[in-house]
């Protein structure tokens, strides 16, 4: 018989993620062109120092990305992406006690970073690139599937939905079925609604409001809204002034059952998560 404890434990390479409570995932972009921190951590030592600071601040996962997925971002070759990502994955695995997530859609990057110590594949394209399903299956790692229509270069070109939450759920269910077909069981899947990807402000707000409906898919949710344009549009704030809006959404996502919060501002978000946990655990 499967125990309740085993249902909340997600093996991530040589570490285990306990999904009984909410975790904070720190963002580490090793790209020159990410929308918020492009170029700041493209050098190995700076990236490692930032990863260490996020772990000390309470991050239990570090999400390493070598390809920007902001609207209109430049495509990078698999070799270029791997050259950006592989050295920092190897160093983090060797020097820090943290689960390494790799933000990639590229099969060769999935395979190589799994060999170097990655514990989670986080794919904004939901394994739709050629060879990605088989590569992810071969690693044996858990996978985060995210909703997005089109590609980053064109995803914001007039996205339309009749019922955004229902359609996001249907998309994610279909991708889960494709994963099952190649041997990636539901127990190895995390789901991301894809806030800011092929969605207008009203789509994002409606999806966030009705997020609980996605629990019907039976898998933990990852929510990434840190510093995104939905905050800027709702509050009329530039990227550098979106912390408080982001913390409000982090708190709301936690209360709505999200199990992983993908953020730039780790220490502040960890305080939010811990404060909610303190209240919820009180007599």
- As given in the structure block, the two tokens for residue 10 are 């997600």
Which of these, 271, 218, 209, 245, lies nearest to 22 by C-alpha position? 271
228 is catalytic: yes
Query: Residues 121-134: what's their mean pLDDT?
Result: 97
| pLDDT, position 130 | 97
- As given in the structure block, the two tokens for residue 122 are 């986080």
Query: Residues 179-184: what's their mean pLDDT?
Result: 98
262 is catalytic: yes
CA–CA separation, 207 vs 195, rounded Å?
Answer: 8
CA–CA separation, 98 vs 218, rounded Å?
Answer: 25
CA–CA separation, 222 vs 253, rounded Å?
Answer: 9
pTM: 0.92
**Quick check: 87 pLDDT over 50?**
yes
Helix (H) or strand (E) holding 122: strand 120-123
Query: Residues 149-171: what's their mean pLDDT?
Result: 83
32 contacts: CB under 8 Å, gap ≥ 6: 38, 39, 42
Q: How many CA atoms lie within 13 A of 265 on its CB side?
A: 22
3-state secondary structure of 31: coil
**Torsion of Cα atoms, 37 then 42 then 45 then 46, to 10°:** -10
Q: Which CATH superfamily is domain 19-280 in?
A: Dihydropteroate synthase-like (3.20.20.20)
| pLDDT, position 3 | 35
DSSP 135-204: HHHHHT--EEEE--SS-TTTTTSS---SSHHHHHHHHHHHHHHHHHHTT--GGGEEEE--TTSS--HHHH
267 contacts: CB under 8 Å, gap ≥ 6: 57, 58
In the chain, where are the structural domains located? 19-280
3-state secondary structure of 235: helix
Q: Which of 199, 219, 228, 242 is catalytic?
A: 228
| pLDDT, position 1 | 33
* pLDDT: which is higher, 4 or 199: 199
Query: Residues 166-191: what's their mean pLDDT?
Result: 98
């Amino acid at each position: 018989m499967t125990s309740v404890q085993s249902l909340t434990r997600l093996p991530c390479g040589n570490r285990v993620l306990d999904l009984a409570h909410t975790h904070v995932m720190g963002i580490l972009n090793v790209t020159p062109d990410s929308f918020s921190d492009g170029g700041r951590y493209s050098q190995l030592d700076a990236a490692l120092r930032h990863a260490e600071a996020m772990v000390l601040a309470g991050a239990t996962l570090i999400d390493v990305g070598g390809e920007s997925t902001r609207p209109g971002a430049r495509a990078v070759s698999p070799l270029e992406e791997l050259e950006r990502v592989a050295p920092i994955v190897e160093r983090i695995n060797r020097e820090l006690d943290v689960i390494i997530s790799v933000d990639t859609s590229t099969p060769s990057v999935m395979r190589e970073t799994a060999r170097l110590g990655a514990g989670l594949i986080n794919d904004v394209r939901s394994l739709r690139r050629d060879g990605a399903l088989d590569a992810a299956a071969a690693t044996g790692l858990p996978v985060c599937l995210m909703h997005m229509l089109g590609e980053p270069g064109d995803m914001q070109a007039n996205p339309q939905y009749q019922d955004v939450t229902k359609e996001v759920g249907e998309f994610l269910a279909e991708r889960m079925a494709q994963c099952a077909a190649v041997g990636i069981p539901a127990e190895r899947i995390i789901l991301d609604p894809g806030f800011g990807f092929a969605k207008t402000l009203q789509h994002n707000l409606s999806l966030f409001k009705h997020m609980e409906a996605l629990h019907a898919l039976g898998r933990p949710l990852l929510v990434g809204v840190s510093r995104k344009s939905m905050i800027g549009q709702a509050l009329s704030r530039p990227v550098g002034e979106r912390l408080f809006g982001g913390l409000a959404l982090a708190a709301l996502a936690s209360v709505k059952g999200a199990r992983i919060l993908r953020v730039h501002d780790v220490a502040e978000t960890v305080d939010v998560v811990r404060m909610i946990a303190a209240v919820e655990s009180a007599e």
